[in-house]
Structure 1
């Protein structure tokens, strides 16, 4: 991440703390949910819990679970005071009790924190700062949006690798191993991925498994690489062999729904508007049952410092602003052919949106024969 971007985020955070009247902000994280910590102090936990106590005066106290983590964080977060113990949560709460008495203290993301830390809300005079901190992460600067655009370009290139790797006879994990190797060769060590292969029996996607790809399969994937700390995602479906008329007819509904969802992305619209636009297409085609939670999870979600941001669902009222980034994806089960996916990452503009994904929205096909053995 660029020094300028880190400086910009730190300045925005201090300003938000001032507006909220917060003197000390407690920011938890772990190796899976590191987005709040990365926004606040640009560090990713490697193991165990990490808790940062950030003062509005730019002081930084960081509590970690072992000496190795403490040494690393001391180097990666200049100007911070780092300490470690087997119970970093207790250490952080003791610090707040002793050093922050009489000051306004708030905790962000209790859902990410340990139970002990989350239970400190209210009872110890600690407020919940999640709503306004989430707003900071969603309302991106132009530099943050550009980082998402770079990640989207990598996702496009990664899907081209995926298509070539998805060959008859290969196990799902072998396909993803090739894709992961390629991402790492490009300097991208972090990529969230799920996929599926099969036919009408397939109801969703999963981590890569043992199943071998077979002729006639639908092969779906979500690739979500991370560039400069920011994620972007692509969702596509391919067929092993020539697509059937039924597969093409079904996929046309997904293409129509994606286009409708993207057309709804503009400043002032909500995530609910985007979901409704997509779902309306399925309902018009008699597929309304398949936009419910029984068959699909979300109709898209935010992208940025986390792989799965604010969800695109009909009851979500988040209002879009320029430079917000999200993926629109009408991914769901189709009763005639099985689970299909199609999704593009977009950036909200002043009067609509820019589609960052460049990969064709066609139903791709790859050869149904096994590759010839090489001598």
Structure 2
């Protein structure tokens, strides 16, 4: 409707889309924007702390999200996009919270994405209710290696394709390349800013990532090691690599609360 109104009001004038131009402008964050995203990073860390603190057998998924929401709203979060999944190696993705009750041995996965001053930032982590299994530890090691490979590929001028391929090549090297395809999950991260899901970090996307671009590196997907695994950190492209924007340790968290010895 707007385009037609412009064409009517401006006969003979060529109307072109500015979407790609604005996408490029939004990709590079100013110091003012980065200050707000660093506030979001602190809220991400606090939200994850609340997530782990509440885990115990018998707790429904929606109670976990309620605790996280309470913590981050106290800190000034305007909104929060959050997906979650609990269970063992049968889990193949995440959804909104359900009434499912946690059991000992479950791995609980989440993407936690608070909004502060209009800017979004995300943390991806997984935690186990009780002592992690060998498969869960092996899964973490695989995903952590992929995250580190993605970070090692980052520098000004690199493309989204390059960062995604670096992560996927880790899965391929370990014999899990099929789990990087569209049959499972092939997105290896995405941009952050005024929208929670901007430029996709995916093979085939030749978008150049300039200095001060902000995006999350997350090789989230299913493998038979421990089911769907979630792990990732938001980064800023620096002059010679990348800066991790969150302080939360990258490890396989676990809670012994309410778990019998």
TM-score, normalised by the number of residues in structure 2:
0.94
Secondary structure in 2 aligned to 1:322?
Answer: coil
Which residue pairs with 1:152 in the alignment? 41
1:101 aligns with 2:101: no
Report the Cα distance in structure 2 between the residues aligned to 1:143 and 1:194, rounded to whole angstroms: 29
CA gap of 1:134–1:370, structure 2 versus 1, over 3 A, is: same
1:189 aligns with 2:78: yes
Equivalent of residue 252 in structure 1, options 113, 123, 141: 141
1:138 Cα offset (Å) = 1.1
Question: Which ranges of structure 2 fall in alignment gaps of 5 or more residues?
Answer: none
CA gap of 1:266–1:94, structure 2 versus 1, over 3 A, is: closer
Report the Cα distance in structure 2 between the residues aligned to 1:297 and 1:309, rounded to whole angstroms: 16
Count the aligned residue pairs.
260
Q: Deviations over 1:217-265 (max 9, x none)?
A: 0100010011111100000011111111121112101111111101111
Asked if structure 1 preserves the Cα contact closer than 8 Å seen for 2:104 and 2:259, the reply is no
1:359 aligns with 2:216: no
CA gap of 1:351–1:93, structure 2 versus 1, over 3 A, is: closer
Secondary structure in 2 aligned to 1:210?
Answer: coil
CA-atom RMSD in angstroms: 1.8
1:269 Cα offset (Å) = 0.8
Equivalent of residue 315 in structure 1, options 193, 197, 204: 204
Q: Deviations over 1:62-105 (max 9, x none)?
A: xxxxxxxxxxxxxxxxxxxxxxxxxxx5xx5686366x42585x
1:141 Cα offset (Å) = 1.8
Which residue pairs with 1:226 in the alignment? 115
Report the Cα distance in structure 2 between the residues aligned to 1:204 and 1:367, rounded to whole angstroms: 24
Asked if structure 1 preserves the Cα contact closer than 8 Å seen for 2:130 and 2:259, the reply is no
Larger Rg: 1
Asked if structure 2 preserves the Cα contact closer than 8 Å seen for 1:231 and 1:307, the reply is yes
Matches within 5 A, 1:259-278: 259-278=148-167
Which residue pairs with 1:173 in the alignment? 62
Compare relative contact order (CA 8 Å, sep 6+) and give the higher one, 1 or 2: 2
Question: Which ranges of structure 1 fall in alignment gaps of 5 or more residues?
Answer: 1-88, 105-124
TM-score, normalised by the number of residues in structure 1:
0.66
